[in-house]
Structure 1
Amino acid sequence: MPERASVPEEHRWRLEDIFADQDAWERAFRELEEVITRLQAFQGKLGASGAVLLDFMQQSEQAGQKADALYAYAHMRLDEDTAHPGHQAMQARALNLMVRLDSALSYATPEILAIPPDRLEAFLRETRGLDLYRHALDEIQRKRPHTLSEPEEHLLAMAGEVGHAPGQIFQMINEADIRFPTVKDEDGRELEITHARYGRLLESRDRRVRRETFQGLYASYRKLLNTLAATLTGQIRRNIFFARARKFGSALEAALFPDNVPVDLYTNLLEAVHEGLPTLHRYIGLRKRALRLDEHHMYDVYATIVPEVRVRIPYPEAVELAAEALAPLGEEYVRVLRHGLHSRWVDVYENRGKRSGAYSSGVYGVHPYVLLNYQDTLDNLFTLVHEMGHAMHTYFSDRTQPYVYSQYTIFVAEVASTVNEALLAHHLLQRWNDRARKLYVLNHQLDNFRTTLFRQAMFAEFERKIHAEAEGGQPPTAERLSEVYGDLNATYYGPDMVSDDEIRIEWSRIPHFYMNFYVYKYATGFSAAQALTRRILEEGRPAVDDYLAFLSGGSSDYPLVLLRRAGVDMASPEPVRQAIRSFGELVEQMERLLQV
């Protein structure tokens, strides 16, 4: 494993574009401390005049931008070498300063809501420059029916820390306390099952390894099942409590409110996915035949059904393939992409102490950054275009929007990355004539559909059902949670899948169930991306222009509005249906190539 200093400079991101050195970071840190003091002086004055409100909005915006830059620099320095004590301290200081900033601004929303609507509208009309913040101020006003009196808000704020307890308890059980047994791998080596190893072991070509890994992992969760049911029950009750306190009709309605998403969208998603389940069942049947199994068990679901493919793609070749694959997005997109890839936006290779995995991180006023741990594989090529999708979304939003509207919401966060992956798959399927490589790409895409659209929809349906039952007075016991989850799993995977008894308790290990109706966003974002990709490939320039406008939208409007302008109406079930049709086309291609 190379040391950080031995990695060539051209393969390391250039954080000097944010701050020239540590001294510059320290100066910015002290400047933000002074800004926080000035922002506290606005307390009690926001309703005095439009000029005062404008001054506050501008100064708080500048403070947020500076805080983001301080934190981004600190956490990326730490990610270069996670054992570096100085960088650990920097990140801790940056986090602490962001908390202080949030605390200093906590008075703002209640004070703005206290301004009578007609007076606020007069401020917007009469104060030059304030209209820029109209959408942000409208968003605060939208919260009015769900905002309580000042003492009640204070009480809810105090209860917020208690509300985090179920998720924190689950995290400690899941990451620190639970212990899994060992399993012998294909070569007879004794390995302890871990979260990191679990997925790799389930991909083993040795079915014994897959089965024993699956059974061993769930045996550990079963020992803690009642405790884990209690933690999930606590999370459900927490969601219901805050929803009712804020006068929402349900926990689901409260969770969708921040993105201005109607409950009908959630319902449409699940109904459309149910319509498409026969296509998923067809895929499971294909897997069963391709793997030559008498019974397809849940521990077989990650086993590859295609011959092993060894395609070496060095990073320079990956850069060229990415540019070729994304050419349908137009000359400007590819020009910016190439500029970023050749201007040290990307930290390319692994080094000792570097954070694992991959991500994209934006810095407003500078440019986005991407962390990779690139290996010369096809999977890593997909990771590159995925993360550059996030980076390009950030680039266009930051270039077009003021800071206050630059950060796109989680609802659309995976759209651009998924569009890039779909375009890459399309390009490779056209470029490669080799059967084995085509099968590999098809397998990659089909598993993306299965895990991101169908599986996340199943999670979303589970969340909706257990919350609805709890709101109706039925306690979510371990037995009931397992019954609901087991029934859904059998429905989704169909008659060619054996719903092993272990899978009934899969709910007990899913951290996303502590994130309050988060998982549906994966399925909707994935569906939107498939619709956008199809439109780009079929319609060309008009669709590309609409797509680039979407990438440039940031949070200047609500996510459903931005997607609608790009040509995708996620309030309708049609994009989900279209995604499932695309899934079916890929299944047909694989059936023809496998001939099983």
Structure 2
Amino acid sequence: MNKTKTLPTRSEIPEEFKWQLEDIYPTNEAWEEDVKLAKSLIGKMQSKKGTLSGSGKQLLEVLQLSEDMMMKIERIYVYAHMRRDEDNANSTYQALSDRSETLNVQASSAMSFVQPELLEIPSDRLEELMGEEPGLEHYRKHIEEIVRYKPYTLSTEEEALLAEMREIAGAPSNIFTMLNNADIKFPMIKDENGEEVELTKGRYVMFMESPNREVREAAFRALYDTYKKHKNTIAATLISSVKRDVLYARVRKYPSALQASLFSDNVDQSVYDNLISTIHKFLPEMHRYLDIRKRMLGLDELHMYDLYVPLVKEVKMEIPYEEAVKTVEESLQPLGDDYAKILNQGFTSRWVDVYENQGKTSGAYSWGTHSAHPFVLMNYQNTLDHMFTLAHEMGHALHSYYSHKHQPYVYAQYQIFVAEVASTLNESLLTNHLLEKTTEKEKRMYLINHYLDQFRGTIIRQTMFAEFEKMIHAKVEEGEALTVDSLSAMYRELNMKYHGEHMVMDEEVDFEWMRIPHFYTNFYVYKYATGFSAAISLSRQILEEGQPAVDRYLEFLKSGGSDYPIELLKKAGVDMGKPAPIEEALTVFKQLLDELEELAFS
């Protein structure tokens, strides 16, 4: 849109390319009125402490009040933050955002008694209360979810002590974040033009895609040489993080740190183990991909710094926003008329904030409230990646739309385990659509390579990370010591297994674990791989079965958080308790690899 070097101000962006947050609050004055109401609800909630076991009516009042209060707080919070995201330099919305943060903390504090009091009610008395008040049936699953934690919940005093320790427990992550984002400084390297430029984490990604191999290697070695200088400090932070996970699991009497993490999603460990074992079976295909990459790049040796450079010379794909919208809508037609109608409504009713402007939050996201439609923040550039991002974020948006429309607030929020399914499914359908209408050899190879890199990065690489996490936590649980050398040795072993004989394993690879922030949020990354696999499986079913698969999928979108993730996916047609969905996704990977090899070498 803007061809000049200077970003436009917010006021210079045409209205049709801005989201319409007036759909949440028509004015800031309306927001202020809700702040007053929220404060009164917080006061009411504080007065309910100690009343939950009195009668069914009292328990219902507390749960209804809690729901009403949090719906109001959500609306206030989301509006303020999204207004600030339009222009972070706007002091008015900085202030509203800060006030919403404070209000959110006050609300959380006011209702902090609910869970402990519920858990203190004996099960027979809880059933009596449920029988007294028919309105409590609406909250049965919500109550059961709280009670599910009872075996792993300590006394009130012990829980209070653990809560006091929360800030200290977060120290490993905080220390790593400060070191990684504030203190570590990378050296200067020469770019493609032979000019000295400072290496940064952001530029590292760009350098890894450079067609100039000397630039890629220089960036690679400079990055890891810098991390290696901090190896003892970073090892100490990661080891402390792992020990914290193990300690919390033991204190709460979970069988292991892994099972403690899986408990929140009610996921059996077999799901985690199946992912790893199934990926292992398909590693020969990953190794074949690396051999094809090596041959297509014309290299005698393939190094880690050769993994991100495009296999096909940059294909000019200038995709204006209007064309991206049209293409995304066409690609998602297999999801049916209702989905298409809502998607079009999103594009034409200003759900999307399209272009970059001065002060605008970077990146992309979908967000919203239960009481209004979702919104999407973009910083659209006319590229293939940005078209995929648009499809991805609209997947999140429509998942939220269906969930909020069909579920009450208490069951509307879907869990992280399934959060990436709708977004990734949209990307899969978009890829399928583009491949169907693309016959030009170079462009087709470019699209296939784009998709293969998603498989490699989201399923295979994240599973390697997940296996590393499992290994290092098991070592501590078995009473073995973790050190810089043992961490690096385990990481090297995994890299050799996952990349095979076609990859030269440079010493720097041993230290990659030092720069992965996800390792400080234990056992999280496997959800990327399972979510991607589920999405690929569902998209195949939709394309092959048609309406029955679409109906199942839409029911999944409408279900929100009304059941556990595994059960919701099972109803949609994917059983993540079995290896089949992962095998199906990797079969697609193999088919794409076959075509790329045929196109490249025939």
Shorter-normalised TM range: over 0.9
1:53 corresponds to which residue?
Answer: 59
Equivalent position SS for 2:315: coil
Taking only the aligned residue pairs, the percentage that are identical comes to 52
Q: Structure 2 CA distance, aligned partners of 1:120 and 1:91?
A: 39
The 2-side partners of 1:528 and 1:226 are apart by 39
Instruction: Give the 3-state SS of the residue equivalent to 2:366 in structure 1.
Output: strand
Residue pairs, 1:386-401, within 5 angstroms: 386-401=392-407
Pick from 469, 480, 490 the counterpart of residue 484 of structure 1. Answer: 490
Structure 2 counterparts to residues 357-436 of structure 1, below 5 A: 357-436=363-442
C-alpha distance after superposition, 1:229-279 (max 9, x if no partner): 000011001101110111101100101000001111111110001011011
Tell me if 1:347 matches 2:366: no
Q: In structure 1, give the amino acid aligned to 2:11.
A: A
Match of 2:192 in 1: 186
In 2, the alpha carbon distance for the partners of 1:155 and 1:377 equals 51
Which residue of 152, 158, 162 corresponds with 1:146? 152
Question: Hey, what's the Cα distance between the residues in 1 that align with 2:128 and 2:355?
Answer: 55
Residues 1:557 and 2:563 are matched in the alignment: yes
Superposed CA offset, 1:343-397 (max 9, x none): 0000001111111111101211100000001111111111110000000100000
Stretches of structure 2 lacking an aligned partner (at least 5 in a row): 1-6
Q: Paired residue for 1:254?
A: 260
CA distance in 1, matches of 2:98, 2:577: 41
Residue 309 of structure 1 corresponds to 315
Aligned amino acid, residue 307 of structure 2 = V
Structure 1 partner of 2:110: 104
* Structure 2 residue 446 is the aligned partner of structure 1 residue 440: yes
**CA distance in 1: counterparts of 2:204 and 2:258, whole angstroms:** 32
Q: Distance in 2 between matches of 1:462 and 1:395?
A: 36
Question: Which amino acid counterpart does residue 240 of structure 2 have in structure 1?
Answer: G
1:450 aligns with 2:451: no
Return the alpha-carbon distance in structure 2 between the equivalents of residues 95 and 270 of structure 1: 40
Residue by residue over 1:312-349, the C-alpha shift from the partner in whole angstroms, topping out at 9 and shown as x without a partner, is 11111111111100000001001100001110000001
Deviation per CA, 1:7-27, whole angstroms, max 9, x where unpaired? 010100001111112111122
* Equivalent-residue separation in structure 1 for 2:106 and 2:504 (angstroms): 52
Partner of 2:549: 543
Instruction: Tell me the residue number matched to 1:127.
Output: 133
Matches within 5 A, 1:254-333: 254-333=260-339
> Pick from 239, 245, 265: which aligns with 1:239?
245
Q: After TM superposition, give the deviation of residue 461 of structure 1 in Å.
A: 0.2
**Deviation of residue 126 (structure 1)?**
3.2
Task: Name 1:219's counterpart in structure 2.
Answer: 225
Q: Does 1:230 align with 2:236?
A: yes
Contact 2:287 2:499 in 1 (8 A): yes
Give the secondary structure class of the aligned counterpart of 1:411.
helix
In terms of mean alpha carbon deviation, does 85-94 or 385-394 score higher? 85-94
Q: What is aligned with 2:362?
A: 356
- Which residue does 1:6 correspond to in 2? 12
Root-mean-square deviation (CA), in Å? 0.9
Note the alpha carbon deviations across 1:269-315, whole angstroms, 9 max, x for none.
10001011011111011000000010000001001101211111111
Distance in 2 of aligned mates of 1:454 and 1:367: 35
Residue type of the partner of 2:196? E
Alignment of 1:28-107 (within 5 A): 28-107=34-113
The AA in structure 1 aligned to 2:313 is: P
Q: Is the 8 A contact 2:52 2:58 kept in 1?
A: yes
Per-residue CA distance 1:375-425 (angstroms, 9 max, x = gap): 111111111100000001000000100000111011111000100000000
Distance in 2, Cα, partners of 1:51 & 1:566: 37
Counterpart in 1 of 2:572? 566
- TM-score of the pair, normalised by structure 1: 0.99
> Does the 8 Å CA contact 2:176/2:237 hold for their aligned counterparts?
yes
TM-score (structure 2 length as normaliser): 0.98
CA distance in 2, matches of 1:8, 1:449: 37
1:123 Cα shift? 2.4
| Aligned AA (2:536) | Q
Deviations for 1:124-173, whole angstroms, at most 9, x for unmatched residues? 23312211111110001110100111111111111111111100000000
SS of the residue aligned with 1:56? helix
Distance in 1, matches of 2:271 and 2:70, equals: 32
Please tell me the residue identity of whatever aligns with 1:113.
L
For the residues of structure 2 that align with 1:14 and 1:261, how far apart are their CA atoms? Answer: 39
What per-residue deviation string (whole Å, max 9, x for no partner) do you get for residues 440-472 of structure 1? Answer: 111111000000000000000000000000111
C-alpha contact 2:75 2:371 (8 A) present in aligned 1: no
2: CA distance between counterparts of 1:334 and 1:193? 44
Alpha-carbon distance in 1 for matches of 2:333, 2:126: 47
Match of 1:587 in 2: 593
Q: Which position in structure 2 is the counterpart of 1:199?
A: 205
Residue pair 2:355, 2:378 contacting (<8 A) in 1 also: yes
360-369 vs 123-132, greater mean Cα deviation: 123-132
Q: Say which SS state the counterpart of residue 189 (structure 2) adopts.
A: strand
Q: Secondary structure at the match of 2:100?
A: helix
1:548 to partner: Cα distance? 0.4
Find the residue that maps to 1:557 and give its secondary structure.
coil
Rounded Cα–Cα distance in structure 2 between residues aligned with 1:580 and 1:84: 47
